[in-house]
Chain A
Amino acid sequence: MTDPILEARGLAKTYSSGGVDVLALRGVDVALAPGEFVAVMGPSGCGKSTLLSLLGGMGRPTAGEVLLAGVRVDQLSETRLALLRRRSIGYVFQFFNLVPTLTVAENVELPVLLAGGSRGQARARREELLALVGIERRDAASPAQLSGGEQQRVAIARALAHRPAVLLADEPTGNLDSASARQVVDVLRHGRGEGQALLLVTHDARVAAAADRVLTMRDGLMVDETRVTPPREVPSLLELEV
């Protein structure tokens, strides 16, 4: 395996809720190679989303470490973490989380501008991505005017906009119908050719089947790892669907 772009070692997270400590993660190891697509599965509350947020630098682990391109990032300041996210990490949320006061176009352009791109570069990238996700004609719309599937595609376009090395997706198809889910997974896999790693949390076995590896979590622990047959040799289940 090539050097991982993203790695977690002995990752643990304890939440305190009503004076009671809840162990969300209990020492998880995970590594993600450039261009790799890894799916994480497991029952609700097993720690999948917590793992994703820690890997994305949106929370601090209670123990363990997170390395991005070999550099430890879990101890960085909030500001350094923000700079890291805008350069190297794209995040897709289950509930889309588009900024409601921005148009579709502005939601997609924002990460490019944040990463230091010019307005021209942001516009060009937005046009490219909205065409990719098939909603280029809705660029002036408000997020509230879009369907759930359309919103999720915009959210993916936003996550891809600044060409992050790692794309993290938290149940991106959880609120979508089958057709929309298929489109969303296809788009998420789009950046693999550029070496973009994808870590996707899902409950949907059909979505997980499109991954290179499937990790299974239970009670804050990684309990199983399954390598999926390379999709170039066997068409994915999604591709087999009518």
Chain B
Amino acid sequence: MEGIPYTVSARRDTGLYNAKLGVWLFLASEVMLFGGLFSAYVFLRLGAPEGTWPLGKLDWVPGFINTGVLIFSSITVILAWTALKLREWKKFQMWMGITLVCAVGFMCIKAYEYNKKFNHYGLFIKETAIEKYAPELLAAHAHVVYHPNSRTYEITGHVKNGAVLQEITALNELIDQEPTAELREKYTQQLDGLKIKLAVDEPPNIPGHPHENPLEELQAQEKAEIERNVERYDIEEARGSVATGHDDHPVVAISQGDIWRSGYFFPSYNSFFAIYYTMTGLHALHVIGGSIVLGYFLFFGAKLYRQNPEHQANRVEVGGLFWHLVDLVWIFLFPILYLL
């Protein structure tokens, strides 16, 4: 019996060649894969206590540019396919080349965004210690978020004294290894005394989400106490003492002992960054995989094109369908991560 039929030409009753059907099925499966992650996003976001889901943590400009880049590359991949259908190899090379440049550009912008987040720091101040820092933070117009589950106040910014982070890591490691109790105690005290200097972020300006500083609420609740200790909450005076740092953002110093948890904006920082890195990382893997396939068609497709141009066109069509899915996923990712 002959080889496998319908590898290039369509079967009459289905109107499809094998690979086209195959890729649509694959796309269905991909939709379910990302569907699982999108539902996880919804689940986590709805489960977060009110007001604690981070908003405005991502700069929408590079994300918006990336959306444009991907949409544009979806158009060029169709043009590449059209060129093959018209048997214009040079034009195919041009359009497919542009598609690949777009893919590389997308990845570069993504890398720039990741890198920016990897240098952003945040810390959670214990509720019991917040009074110490309240005047300073109010004076600095810091963006403060209260987390009822862990009973902590979160502030974010850029670390001004990187050496202290090294020392914190080193001390933590030593305390874990230290066999004698007295030395453990000594190093723990040393650790708690260290201070992280943070050039704090200001509240993001998000339409429809006016920022409510939990410290002001705290202040109102304890008005009587404030009146007794005027100087402790004297914002004007505190403002004078706050130094400015990164981009003229005010700097506050927080003792390690008063911090529940801290870290750069890695996946482990909070649920938002966990889902952000997981989804965009998986999407980036798809971009890389798609570019490898499309690049193979561009750089190694000439021979097949000479032998069977329709087969080559079909391959590009199938690859293009996948590329559109990659684009489509991003079109959903962009608003839920950057805008909403």
Q: Are chains A and B native binding partners rather than an unrelated pairing?
A: no
- Measured CB to CB, the residues of B under 8 A from A are none
- Measured CB to CB, the residues of A under 8 A from B are none
